[in-house]
Amino acid sequence: MDSEALKKYSALHPKPAGLTLQYGTAGFRTKADQLDHVMFRMGLLAVLRSKAVASTIGIMVTASHNPEEDNGVKLVDPLGEMLHPSWEEYATQLANAEEHELQQTITAIFQKAAVNQHKDASVFIGRDTRPSSEKLSQSVIDGIFVLGGQYHDYGLVTTPQLHYMVCCQNTQGQYGKATLEGYYEKLSKAFTELIKQSSSSGERQKHLKIDCANGIGALKLSEMEPYFPKELLIQLYNDGTKEKLNHLCGADFVKVHQKPPRGLDMKPNERCCSFDGDADRVVYYYQDTTGLFHLIDGDKIATLISIFLKELLAKVGQTLKMAVVQTAYANGSSTHYLEETLKVPVHCVKTGVKHLHHKAQEFDVGVYFEANGHGTVLFSKDAETKIRRLAKEEKDNEKREAAKVLENMIDLINQTVGDAVSDMLVIEAILALKGLTVQQWDAVYTDLPNRLLKIQVADRRVIDTTDAERRVVTPPGLQEKIDALVKKYKLSRAFVRPSGTEDVVRIYSEADTQENADALAHEVSLAVYHLAGGKGAPPQP
């Protein structure tokens, strides 16, 4: 390590005094003007991680669904998965080290993580469309350069595209070609093969309006359009030419406010969807003839995919184990439908994509989605090998055809991470193959009315949870109080959990009516306020 070069470059990316940041599920995220030193240092860390695992590592510059003024950075591990938890700790240490401690912090990571200094390092870089992203990715490159790493800058890409490239590179092309063309070709070929099987059920069905959150999704869908078959008719809105990123639009806005985004003109019963700012989440919605807005969130997406895959798995006649992984935020009706009607096992894990992904890896076919629209499907190596073999060799026509559909599904799904483009194509293919309208999909089950609230507290750490965050352990008396409140309402449940990023406690409630869900959430918020050190005035109904 050239300590003079490190000193010189580090001085070009000074750390603001007194600023401490934490590497969380979403990496680092804050105001863009506070991130220059973090980007430089994550360039350093990516080189260390690459040497430690002797593989290419990814760095994505994005703040996803946050406002345009923010930015962020996350590292991508060799198979396109999120950074290993033990390295999240190193990332935090490195980002917060004072200027004079930087070299010894790097040396400490070298030793603790048993990094082989003599290995080559290779890093893939991508960025979103924020005004600050280009300059910040340049700071990443400085960090890589100082520690002698090689890099490939993909420039403007969606977050899932970068995850995909990293996986392709480290599987020596087994997962696909590590280029944008490779990504477009693999997905569009699988999609085209799938919809060949569909009886063309009216042209109206194929129309889809997409709100791109004024982000990278618009750019990449435009690039991909020539690859799409003529059956797929998409119209892009909020394409970033006029308005600000994520402003009154995007998947997060639509999910939270339960209303259509600005800039998308909806007619009754038209199928619409929204991506978020870096295109790793998607939600669907429509307006019925009475003008009522219907949101189809991640729970319903997981259900549609599960119905489809379960039918196919039954047809190929293999004993492959399928399961759905959810968090406590999944609507109770979706869990009930999956377990009771579809007879698919459902597992609940802590909030955060890494927990869902990890659990889904335990099954032959693991479907996971968060209610916010982030999710994917994982196929075990064994399941994939069986399915591809049946698609080639099976004598029975029906079995072979079902295996071919599954094989195309495997190729269409981005198994590295939730991917709005890939998930949207999966949904469009399933709707076409099953001849379903968006209304029929929505009617599979009815969501229980629910409410999300947050309460400011002096210290979020006073709340400790268990049972995948569905029950509170501390402070004493709070869970008993919640249990008593839940008993007052029909079909109800409620849970509270500390936020991962700020001193607030998040409250979720469900009940038979919206009025009751609201009342329950309010009563639980009062209990949290009084028993967990609420700040400011007590919550008002």
Please report the DSSP string for 48-98 in residue order.
Answer: HHHHHHTSEEEEEE--TTS-TTEEEEEEE-TTS-BPPHHHHHHHHHHHH--
What average pLDDT does this structure show over 349-378? 95
Mean pLDDT for the chain overall: 94
What percent helix, strand, coil does the chain show, rounded to 5? 45, 20, 35
64 is in an annotated binding site: yes
500 is in an annotated binding site: yes
Q: Do 67 and 29 contact (CB within 8 A), yes or no?
A: no
* Closest of 105, 107, 75 to residue 88, by C-alpha: 75
- Is the domain spanning 450-532 CATH 3.40.50.970? The answer is no
Q: What is the pLDDT of residue 6?
A: 93
Catalytic site positions: 64
- Tell me whether the CATH fold assigned to 182-296 matches the one assigned to 298-417+437-443: yes
- Is the domain spanning 3-156 CATH 3.40.120.10? The answer is yes
Name residues whose C-beta falls within 8 Å of residue 424's C-beta, 6 or more positions apart in sequence: 208, 210, 273, 275, 282
What average pLDDT does this structure show over 493-507? 88
Q: Is the pLDDT of residue 161 over 90?
A: yes
Q: Do 262 and 249 contact (CB within 8 A), yes or no?
A: yes
Q: Is the pLDDT of residue 466 over 50?
A: yes
71 is in an annotated binding site: no
Q: Is the pLDDT of residue 203 over 60?
A: no
Q: For residue 425, which amino acid is it?
A: L
To the nearest whole percent, how much of the chain has pLDDT over 90?
90
What is the dotted CATH code of the domain comprising 182-296? 3.40.120
Distance (Å, rounded) from C-alpha 209 to C-alpha 256? 20
What average pLDDT does this structure show over 302-323? 94
Q: pTM for the complete prediction?
A: 0.94
Q: What is the pLDDT of residue 204?
A: 46
Token pair, residue 417, equals: 């991470």
What are 209's strand-pairing partners?
Answer: 235, 272
398 is in an annotated binding site: no
371 is in an annotated binding site: yes
Q: What is the pLDDT of residue 503?
A: 79
What are 122's strand-pairing partners?
Answer: 56, 150
- Domain spans, the chain: 3-156, 182-296, 298-417+437-443, 450-532
Name residues whose C-beta falls within 8 Å of residue 514's C-beta, 6 or more positions apart in sequence: 449, 451
Return the DSSP state at 457.
B
Token pair, residue 298, equals: 């991640």
Per DSSP, the residues of 386-453 read HHHHHHHH--SHHHHHHHHHHHHHHHHS-TTS--HHHHHHHHHHHHHHHT--HHHHHTTS-PPPEEEE
To the nearest whole percent, how much of the chain has pLDDT over 70?
98
Q: Do 365 and 320 contact (CB within 8 A), yes or no?
A: yes
What average pLDDT does this structure show over 190-208? 76
What's the number of CA atoms in the CB half-sphere (13 Å) around residue 439? 8
Sign (positive or negative) of CA dihedral 237, 241, 245, 248 = negative
Fold observed for domain 298-417+437-443: Alpha-D-Glucose-1,6-Bisphosphate; Chain A, domain 3 (3.40.120)
